[in-house]
Amino acid sequence: MVEKWTYDDKEGIVFGHPSVVDVDVVIRSDKHLLVEIKSHVGKADVAALLRKAKLYKKVRGVEPELAIVTHYIDEDARKLAESLNINVYSI
């Protein structure tokens, strides 16, 4: 199952202020995978996905796996993602 998870982050966990957060989620059996799809990814995008995962775990009670799908990712962002066990799929 694939769905867009949307949540009203009133505590500001993801962006530092109250905001609506959304992320694509793939659920298969007990495995939850948060997927960020962007044309260009920098370190801030990797950090934001990590904070989205923290919020998702808090709300849903499930530790998600993380993935980024992108046309281009900065080398520093790729290294950060790899160090955080985030799968990166790019050209």
Q: What CATH number does residue 28 fall under?
A: 3.40.1350.10
- Residue range 21-44, pLDDT digits in tens: 999 999 998 899 999 999 999 999
Average pLDDT over residues 42-61: 97
- Residue range 1-24, pLDDT digits in tens: 999 999 999 999 999 999 999 999
Residue 77, C-beta contacts closer than 8 angstroms, at least 6 positions apart: 41, 42, 43, 45, 46
Residue 18, C-beta contacts closer than 8 angstroms, at least 6 positions apart: 8, 9, 10, 11, 12
For residue 48, the enclosing domain spans: 2-90
Number of domains in the chain: 1
Alpha carbon distance 52, 75 (integer Å): 22
| pLDDT for res 91 | 80
Are 6 and 22 within 8 A, CB to CB? yes
pLDDT of 59 above 90: yes
Alpha carbon distance 29, 12 (integer Å): 30
